Amino acid sequence: MIDFVAVFITFFAVIDPIGTLPVFIAVTDKYDAKTKRRVALLATIVAALVLLFFLFIGEYLLNSLHIPLPAFQISGGIVLFLFAMNMIFGQSKPEEEIKLLRKSHKETAIFPLAIPSIASPGAMLAAVLLTKNSVYTFLEQALTALVMLGVLLLAYILMLMSGLISRFIGNSGASVISRVMGLILSAIATTNILTGLTDYFKFMQV
Three-class SS state of 205? helix
Which residues, including other chains, have CB under 8 Å from residue 183's CB and lie 6 or more apart? 84, 88
pLDDT at 195: 85
Query: How does pLDDT run along the chain (206 residues), one tens digit per residue?
Result: 789 999 999 999 889 898 788 788 878 878 888 999 999 999 999 999 999 999 999 888 888 888 887 887 788 788 778 877 877 886 556 665 655 554 577 888 998 889 878 998 778 888 998 998 888 999 999 999 999 999 999 999 999 998 787 677 776 776 777 788 778 778 878 888 898 899 888 877 76
Domain that holds residue 78: 4-205
* Closest CA relative to residue 124, chosen from 14, 206, 201, 19: 14
pLDDT at 49: 97
Provide the domain count of the chain. Answer: 1
Please spell the DSSP secondary structure of 149-184, one letter per residue. Answer: HHHHHHHHHHHHTHHHHHHHHHHHHHHHHHHHHHHH
DSSP 9: H
pTM of the predicted model, to two decimals? 0.77
**b (16+ CB within 10 A) / e for 124-154:** bbbbbbbbbeeebeeebbebbbebbbebbeb
pLDDT at 44: 97
- Whole-number Å distance between alpha carbons of 176 and 12: 15
pLDDT at 149: 97
Three-class SS state of 143? helix
Q: Give the count of beta carbons closer than 10 Å to the beta carbon of residue 188.
A: 20
pLDDT at 23: 80
